[in-house]
A = this chain, B = another copy of it.
């Protein structure tokens, strides 16, 4: 078991515990079995897969910077994973994705149930509406953990709230750009850079790193510089790799609806340069840049290894 798998094994019980608590809460104010079933499916979907990259990265830098409150940190980082889940649920509506983590997307699950029960009305639209609401719930839960946290000082939490809100603004606006560009014939390289920075680098790497550093109470300029540079390089590499996998992978391997990106007129470095090679070059360049930044850090060898392992793990993923 590698480091991130080990992390997931330690982290997921907290995720599950929180989701169970929310399911109990919900049944306090509605006894309706159908609604309860939808909400249980949200939990099922979240626990069905995912690598926990974002909380892992935050935890990694937290430990490296000397953070000692492991349990409290894992508990808190559930907020980051739920924020990611919120993004996925709303993304899946926009991408018309039928599968996620190898099981049905929320949309497809609810549509199936409604059809099975021969319900009235435009059921595709109804399932869509319920997916919007499911994402909204997750957004609320993510912020609940952030807002009601008592394990860290108010000073630290205030700092993290600022990062979190900026992250949300950026990823939502980044997604707006992404959606809008699928309707355009031509998109500038600058706009592809912008959406990659906002949509992927920010929320998958830079902000989790900043959150981890803030949890550890460390916000030296050097740390901040590393979060931004390493996060940006990883973000570009990760997104480009994702686009490449969309072109080359089979549905089965990715366990999510693929090949849709292209058919939905997605603009990527690959479509911009009309070349697999150019896109791959950008990807490799940024993976290498991320590695160099880690190597230059004045941290102990073990910590460096963990970072390099993570890069390698991402670099060699096939789904």
CB of A250 within 8 Å of the partner chain: no
Taken together, the copies of this chain in the complex come to 2
- Cβ–Cβ contact B94 & A129, under 8 A: yes
A112 CB to nearest B CB, Å: 13
Docked Cα-Cα span, A147 to B168, in Å, equals: 13
A116 CB to nearest B CB, Å: 12
Docked Cα-Cα span, A217 to B90, in Å, equals: 38
Please judge, given known A-B contacts A26-B169, A184-B119, whether A161 and B175 are in contact too, CB under 8 Å.
no
CB of A93 within 8 Å of the partner chain: yes
Number of interface residues of A (CB under 8 A): 61
Docked Cα-Cα span, A29 to B198, in Å, equals: 8
A-B contact pairs, 24 of them (CB 8 A): A25-B169, A26-B169, A29-B173, A30-B194, A32-B180, A35-B173, A38-B176, A93-B129, A94-B132, A119-B183, A119-B184, A120-B183, A121-B264, A126-B183, A133-B176, A135-B136, A137-B172, A139-B140, A140-B165, A144-B165, A147-B147, A148-B161, A148-B165, A154-B154
Q: Which residues of chain B are within 8 angstroms of A265 by Cβ–Cβ distance?
A: 120-121
Please judge, given known A-B contacts A121-B265, A172-B140, A198-B29, whether A90 and B132 are in contact too, CB under 8 Å.
yes
Docked Cα-Cα span, A158 to B157, in Å, equals: 12
Most chain B beta-carbon neighbours within 10 Å: one of A29, A39, A137: A29
Most chain B beta-carbon neighbours within 10 Å: one of A30, A132, A169: A132
Q: Which residues of chain B are within 8 angstroms of A121 by Cβ–Cβ distance?
A: 182-183, 264-265
Q: Which residues of chain B are within 8 angstroms of A161 by Cβ–Cβ distance?
A: 147-148
Of residues 120 to 142 in A, which have CB atoms within 8 Å of B's CB atoms?
120-121, 123, 125-126, 128-130, 132-133, 135-137, 139-140
CB of A6 within 8 Å of the partner chain: no
Q: Which residues of chain B are within 8 angstroms of A311 by Cβ–Cβ distance?
A: none
A183 nearest CB neighbor, chain B only: B119
- Cβ–Cβ contact B133 & A172, under 8 A: yes
CB of A254 within 8 Å of the partner chain: no
Docked Cα-Cα span, A182 to B125, in Å, equals: 11
- Cβ–Cβ contact B130 & A132, under 8 A: no
CB of A162 within 8 Å of the partner chain: yes
A121 nearest CB neighbor, chain B only: B183
Docked Cα-Cα span, A177 to B129, in Å, equals: 11
Q: Which residues of chain B are within 8 angstroms of A198 by Cβ–Cβ distance?
A: 29-30
A199 CB to nearest B CB, Å: 11
